Amino acid sequence: MFYVKNVPQWERVLRVVMGLMALVFAVMNWGVSGLAVGMGVMGAMLAMTGLVGFCPMCYMVGRKLSKGH
């Protein structure tokens, strides 16, 4: 494995749920609103970081999980 997980389980679930909600919004409003593209990109990023358990931005600021997770 090339990375160490830095997102706790509860936050992973939250990221996946919110990412899917943003993707649904983007699909429903595609072509109608310019905001849909940004929401789609944000939703995809949130969902992927939730599924993988690693967030590059959290890594950049030094966030680490405790040994208990």
Considering 31-35, 52-56, 60-64, the range whose residues carry the highest mean pLDDT is: 52-56
Between 31 and 20, where is the model more confident? 20
Kindly state whether residue 58 falls inside one of the protein's structural domains: no
Kindly state whether residue 22 falls inside one of the protein's structural domains: yes
Kindly state whether residue 45 falls inside one of the protein's structural domains: yes
Say if pTM beats, i.e. exceeds, 0.85.
no
Kindly state whether residue 32 falls inside one of the protein's structural domains: yes
Q: Is the pLDDT assigned to residue 1 strictly greater than 60?
A: no
Distance CA 46, CA 2 (A): 20
pLDDT at 9: 93
Distance CA 22, CA 18 (A): 6
Kindly state whether residue 46 falls inside one of the protein's structural domains: yes
Domain count for the chain, please give it: 1
pLDDT at 49: 94
